[in-house]
Structure 1
């Protein structure tokens, strides 16, 4: 069968070549190209498009035959190539063997030449050294000859023309030679004068040469200044180079700095800007502990001056970089001069003026200046480092040293922190003195202190008994609010500051209780002090923060908080003693609870957030601080508990006194007074309970409030239970008693303490014992709260019925 009609066309054959197989097409694309012309368009069979497979089959068969031929050809070429590779590898091995002997010969020849060159070099090196020595000697001899001739010229003619020609030459090398020669000439002349003694002509020669050097230097300096005025920095650089060669450049550096705008007019750039020295109100605020002081030098002349200095320093630094070959020493000299002359003068003036305004104003100004100049220093350091003017940090070190030198005298020998402590102590003394003076009698009685001492002695006895030892009173050292040394200091303060304290006494109100506002003032001042210490003396922060806490605890806590608690306790004791008086107690001193709680809360926040972090790297100080704070808080809580205990005694005494005013006939009556709902005694007790609850609600909070009301309620309940055992009650009187009980219950229910209200149900059930028929008494005693009472107690109440007879006992309790 012939397959010619299905033979591959040229396009397909071009794709089936070994050199470019498929020409980058995929197999799918190649198959699609083979069959793209085999569809018989329009052919149908049974209304379906007809597909003839024969063209596809024949075409694919032709393709497979061609692919088989390609495979055979590829295999043949592979075998031929393999043979050629073997031949080339064999030939390469032969070439390597042949060349190896040649390489060995070349290496051997190279080693021999290297040895010969080394031998020749050893012989030539001494010659080179000798030649260099001769050249150097020749150059030195030329310089020495020129130097001797110059000296001879000045010795004989007081001048030397060749040297003058070098001085006025246009070439930089010649002028540099002149500077070097004059420098050496001066040294030579002085040595000759020293060796020869006092020979007038020799001395005159020295003077002449020195004058010549001065003339040359002065001319160069004048030219340098002229170039500076015209901003010809290249010429300035050349002159600076000459003068550095001549005398180390000290004169040209001074000339540059003297002509600099930095030092021409110190206050020119602060014209029109207000100065703090002219603000009297500002100084008063700076010395006021209650005043909040921020950004003392904001938009003030000092800040403006430093900002102007920053700009000038950066501008001058760029000029120095282009003028001097090694500008670092010039930078350092400029910085030292700025700090020593300009900044130090400003700082000293402000610090001296602040001392006159007061100690607090002084430390506040000191801290503000330290921060302001510190930021200025950091900015200048960053500029030099960023612009690569200070690769070795020489300028940065000089800046740090200059900054430290500004405040070294002020911060030396702990004098600064002693001043800080005085400021804080005096602020506390100024608050404590009016309060102590106003409550002198209460403080003199020391009721609370004595009670605390009893508790300490009791604890000490228990501790000693636990280990089998006897203890004497006060044998165990206890924490005291007031330290004797600090009390002496407080008294000395009062003596020296009487005028100020009288003024403050006149302005101070509400001196009968502690003030949270005063606490805010003291703690803000303590935090401010700590912040200054962290900035000014960070290495002593742990130690000084502990001293600040001791001031807060022993001075503020001892002289103010403890005295406030003492006054509150004394008032409680006095009102307890007067519980039987007609006028009821005010209980206003209970506000000490809220104020003290707020003080302790604020103090704790201050310790945790401010003081304790300062001791992170000093565990012993941290432990001491925590112990001191915990002991102080515990002491305050104990004092508050004692005040509350005294108040509970007052409540018991007051209610007991009011119950004694109950009339015998109140519960033995024939009629009920329609004008009143309960007895006068009940009204008085109810009013007292309402007043007490109102005071507690105002000055106690959370658990303290509810616990105190529960105690008062139970005191009232027990007193009433005992009170009702003492009065005879008839049927009408039972109704009156029930009305009283209902009143008591309504007052207790208004407190919204469910457990307490439930307890007072017992009073209602007891009142029912006086109002029910005798035959119902037994049913009351076996149910409710009465069922929980002893039979003897119930008998006491029943026996107060006016219709009581001994047969009641046999009838109702005989079986029990």
Structure 2
């Protein structure tokens, strides 16, 4: 099968067979045969002149011959180049071998030379050491000889001119030699001094006078150079005096001449200071004031000091070889003379204002000075002034010394506690004065003590409650002491009160107040924040004390005191209800319940999120905090449950009273009246007013829970109530109408759970109205199917047509 793109003529195919090529066809003959047809020569094909292929074939043939010639020539050149490459490679190998021999020879020579050099060095080193010793001995001898001559001069003439020449010389090395000589001379003279030889004492005095003159002259020049910013001169003098006596006096001179300290002290009470701003101090004494303290005068001072210290540090590094001692004195002077003055003036004044103002100012000062100190520490470390952390240590010490008077020995925390106690006791004392009768009656506490709800079989619970009681008594005694001290003030306030019943203070302090509670809790949180900042190492134990103040001063005296007041109002209402025929109960004492729930939530949130985390690293204190909190919250919950239970009992008693007004013949009527029964009217009105009162007094989940319990108790009373009356067919309709009225009242409460449960009343009403033959099917359907047969028997037995034998026979009751 042929895969050619073009079809060849048969004649062409014959030319291309192997026999023709092997049989003797030459190339010329093959080309001639291939192009022997010339019948198209001179003709046109597709408008193009026909081309004879022979010239092209000859050209191609010529090209092939030329290419073959070039190929032969290229092969010849390649052979020649290969020979040249081999020759060069051989020469390269010869060169490498020669170089290798030369390198080995040089290496051997170097090794020999190194050995010889080592030998020479070994011989020279002892000579060098000996020469150094000789040189040092010569120098020491010269210095010793000069020192002895100098002493002799002062011993004989009280002076020595060559030393004086060194002192007044303008050459640095001469003055340095003078300082060293005087230092050594003073040491020598004091060792030689003897009481037996008076002249030795005179010699010492003469040397001292000379040394004082030398130092005073240098210090005077140093002061002049300091005023003119001649740092090179200052550096030379500091170096000379450092050799003389360690440079103590020159350092003091340098620090004392920085008169900017005096200027800043003069400006301490300048514009921007809060010391003379009464409004600021009034706000600082207000626990509801939450804005940060800002003193422009103090912050400007610190910023100026910061810039000055950094600038002086650079100067010190140019003047003194060792800048650390100078900067230490400089920093101590600034903290002691400038910052300490400002801090003391603020803190001393704040103590006279109030404890709260004092601790707030103390925190502010600690923050700004601490930030100032940290900035300086970073500067010194970053600029390589404090490689050994000496300056950081002195800065920390200076910062600590600023506040030691106000933070050591519990001084700060005692003021912190006093500010909180004053705030809480002020609120509690006014609350107590307005509710003195209810709090003295202490009825709720007595009731709680008589309950057996607390599980004292648990040892941990018993010990926790015991600890709770001890702390409670301790804090209560402290409050009593406060009340005694305030008794006269309270009496004066009560006498001067024109109309206590309508006073704004009575409205604010006579009952629970969310704003007051928020103020106290925020103050506790603020105190915890200050403790963490000012006394972080003692934060666990201090946080525990703050928790005790919160639980036993605020929680016990205010929150639980409010529960006492609520319980007293409940008892008063209960006593009034028992002797009154009024069909309404005053639930206004419950109005504090929602507020009480909110305050307890804030209290527990503060303890859980702020106070307890402070004891994360102290498990013992953490456990104490948790136990105290749990004991307190449990007491509050038990107290709330007691109040709600007795409120339910009060409602139940009133419902039972109104249901007792149901006449025995109300459901044995012959005719259907237009009105509901009297008892139904009383009960419905009472439940409607109860709902209205509870809605005003309670909110949200508190309201829902109480209404649900009231409704279920109401349902229980009705279920028992309908078991007591005989009902005829007409009375069943009247009973059903009462039931519908009761259901309408409950439906208006819009509590689906209650509405669904009250459906059973309608089914019970049907028991009295349906035909006896339908009772069996009725009680097996709906909610009646969930009742016990004995209960259903009680209702069925109240039908006027009830017949026990008939019932057993036809209705299958067992």
Question: When the two structures are superposed, what TM-score results if normalisation uses the length of structure 2?
Answer: 0.81
Q: State the 1:260 CA deviation.
A: 0.6
Q: In the TM superposition, what whole-angstrom CA distance separates every residue of 1:115-146 from its partner, at most 9, and x where no partner exists?
A: 64255236xx2x43343333333333333343
Does residue 121 (structure 1) correspond to residue 124 (structure 2)? The answer is yes
Q: In the TM superposition, what whole-angstrom CA distance separates every residue of 1:680-700 from its partner, at most 9, and x where no partner exists?
A: 544443343234334444555
CA pair 702-479 structure 1, distance change in 2 beyond 3 A: farther
2:85 maps to which of 73, 78, 81: 81
Q: 1:234 & 1:119 partners in 2: Cα distance?
A: 44
- Aligned match of 1:267: 265
Cα pair 1:513 1:568 within 8 Å, conserved: no
Q: State the 1:501 CA deviation.
A: 5.6
Cα pair 2:676 2:738 within 8 Å, conserved: yes
Cα pair 2:464 2:628 within 8 Å, conserved: no
- Aligned match of 2:147: 147
Does residue 489 (structure 1) correspond to residue 478 (structure 2)? The answer is yes
Q: Secondary structure at the match of 2:455?
A: helix
Q: State the 1:374 CA deviation.
A: 0.8
Q: Secondary structure at the match of 2:750?
A: coil
Q: 2:550 & 2:49 partners in 1: Cα distance?
A: 106
Deviates more, 1:343-352 or 1:772-781: 772-781
Cα pair 1:523 1:603 within 8 Å, conserved: yes
Cα pair 1:579 1:653 within 8 Å, conserved: no
CA pair 304-496 structure 1, distance change in 2 beyond 3 A: farther
Q: In the TM superposition, what whole-angstrom CA distance separates every residue of 1:174-204 from its partner, at most 9, and x where no partner exists?
A: 2222333333333344333x236451x4434
Q: 1:785 & 1:608 partners in 2: Cα distance?
A: 46
- Aligned match of 2:168: 168
CA pair 382-795 structure 1, distance change in 2 beyond 3 A: closer
- Aligned match of 1:219: 217
CA pair 458-95 structure 1, distance change in 2 beyond 3 A: closer
Does residue 329 (structure 1) correspond to residue 325 (structure 2)? The answer is yes
Cα pair 1:175 1:242 within 8 Å, conserved: yes
Deviates more, 1:722-731 or 1:176-185: 722-731
Q: 1:647 & 1:572 partners in 2: Cα distance?
A: 7
Matches within 5 A, 1:266-305: 266-270=264-268, 272-288=270-286, 290-296=287-293, 298-305=294-301
Q: Secondary structure at the match of 2:232?
A: helix
Q: Secondary structure at the match of 1:579?
A: helix
Q: In the TM superposition, what whole-angstrom CA distance separates every residue of 1:390-446 from its partner, at most 9, and x where no partner exists?
A: 222221111111111222343223343343334333433333333334334333444
Q: State the 1:163 CA deviation.
A: 2.9
- Aligned match of 1:9: none
- Aligned match of 1:339: 335
Does residue 589 (structure 1) correspond to residue 566 (structure 2)? The answer is no
Gaps of 5+ in 2: 1-43, 498-504
Q: 2:306 & 2:62 partners in 1: Cα distance?
A: 94
Deviates more, 1:516-525 or 1:332-341: 516-525
Does residue 106 (structure 1) correspond to residue 109 (structure 2)? The answer is yes
Q: 1:252 & 1:352 partners in 2: Cα distance?
A: 36
Q: State the 1:59 CA deviation.
A: 7.2
Q: State the 1:47 CA deviation.
A: 7.4
Q: 2:162 & 2:709 partners in 1: Cα distance?
A: 116
Q: 1:775 & 1:496 partners in 2: Cα distance?
A: 83
Cα pair 2:153 2:160 within 8 Å, conserved: yes
Q: 2:513 & 2:492 partners in 1: Cα distance?
A: 19
CA pair 205-776 structure 1, distance change in 2 beyond 3 A: closer
Q: State the 1:323 CA deviation.
A: 2.2
Cα pair 2:265 2:338 within 8 Å, conserved: no
Cα pair 2:476 2:552 within 8 Å, conserved: no
Q: 1:121 & 1:772 partners in 2: Cα distance?
A: 138
- Aligned match of 1:246: 244
Does residue 427 (structure 1) correspond to residue 423 (structure 2)? The answer is yes
Q: 2:121 & 2:240 partners in 1: Cα distance?
A: 45
Cα pair 2:261 2:337 within 8 Å, conserved: no
Q: State the 1:499 CA deviation.
A: 5.2
- Aligned match of 2:636: 636
1:542 maps to which of 540, 543, 556: 540
Deviates more, 1:320-329 or 1:392-401: 320-329
Cα pair 1:615 1:621 within 8 Å, conserved: yes
Q: 2:418 & 2:252 partners in 1: Cα distance?
A: 46
Q: State the 1:86 CA deviation.
A: 5.5
Aligned residues: 750
Does residue 190 (structure 1) correspond to residue 179 (structure 2)? The answer is no
Q: 1:731 & 1:479 partners in 2: Cα distance?
A: 67
Does residue 315 (structure 1) correspond to residue 318 (structure 2)? The answer is no
Cα pair 1:457 1:476 within 8 Å, conserved: no
Q: In the TM superposition, what whole-angstrom CA distance separates every residue of 1:23-73 from its partner, at most 9, and x where no partner exists?
A: xxxxxxxxxxxxxxxxxxxxx974799999988999799779857865785
- Aligned match of 1:403: 399
- Aligned match of 1:559: 557
Q: 2:667 & 2:80 partners in 1: Cα distance?
A: 139
Q: 1:645 & 1:70 partners in 2: Cα distance?
A: 121
Q: 1:573 & 1:383 partners in 2: Cα distance?
A: 71
Q: 2:633 & 2:148 partners in 1: Cα distance?
A: 92
Q: Secondary structure at the match of 1:277?
A: coil
Cα pair 2:183 2:245 within 8 Å, conserved: yes
Q: State the 1:753 CA deviation.
A: 2.2
Q: State the 1:568 CA deviation.
A: 2.5
Q: State the 1:350 CA deviation.
A: 2.4
Cα pair 1:729 1:770 within 8 Å, conserved: yes
Q: Secondary structure at the match of 2:585?
A: coil
Q: State the 1:594 CA deviation.
A: 2.0
2:810 maps to which of 804, 810, 815: 815
Q: 1:705 & 1:69 partners in 2: Cα distance?
A: 117
Question: When the two structures are superposed, what TM-score results if normalisation uses the length of structure 1?
Answer: 0.80
Q: State the 1:377 CA deviation.
A: 0.8
Q: State the 1:221 CA deviation.
A: 2.1
Cα pair 2:587 2:697 within 8 Å, conserved: no
Q: 1:563 & 1:109 partners in 2: Cα distance?
A: 105
Cα pair 1:460 1:476 within 8 Å, conserved: no
Q: State the 1:735 CA deviation.
A: 6.0
Q: In the TM superposition, what whole-angstrom CA distance separates every residue of 1:453-506 from its partner, at most 9, and x where no partner exists?
A: 344467347x79xxxxxxxxx999568577222221221122223356668987
- Aligned match of 2:618: 618
CA pair 772-393 structure 1, distance change in 2 beyond 3 A: same
Gaps of 5+ in 1: 1-43, 465-473
CA pair 151-56 structure 1, distance change in 2 beyond 3 A: farther
Cα pair 1:541 1:615 within 8 Å, conserved: yes
- Aligned match of 1:720: 718
Q: 1:61 & 1:494 partners in 2: Cα distance?
A: 134
Q: State the 1:309 CA deviation.
A: 1.7
- Aligned match of 1:370: 366
Q: 2:67 & 2:694 partners in 1: Cα distance?
A: 109
CA pair 723-60 structure 1, distance change in 2 beyond 3 A: farther
- Aligned match of 1:519: 517
Q: 1:508 & 1:95 partners in 2: Cα distance?
A: 115
Cα pair 1:655 1:716 within 8 Å, conserved: yes
Q: State the 1:734 CA deviation.
A: 6.1
Q: In the TM superposition, what whole-angstrom CA distance separates every residue of 1:145-173 from its partner, at most 9, and x where no partner exists?
A: 43344444444444443333323322222
CA pair 117-773 structure 1, distance change in 2 beyond 3 A: closer
- Aligned match of 1:693: 691
Q: 1:749 & 1:401 partners in 2: Cα distance?
A: 75
Cα pair 1:287 1:361 within 8 Å, conserved: yes
Q: Secondary structure at the match of 1:389?
A: coil
Q: State the 1:333 CA deviation.
A: 0.4
CA pair 740-64 structure 1, distance change in 2 beyond 3 A: farther
Q: In the TM superposition, what whole-angstrom CA distance separates every residue of 1:549-592 from its partner, at most 9, and x where no partner exists?
A: 23322332222222222332343344334433234322223234
Cα pair 1:227 1:235 within 8 Å, conserved: yes
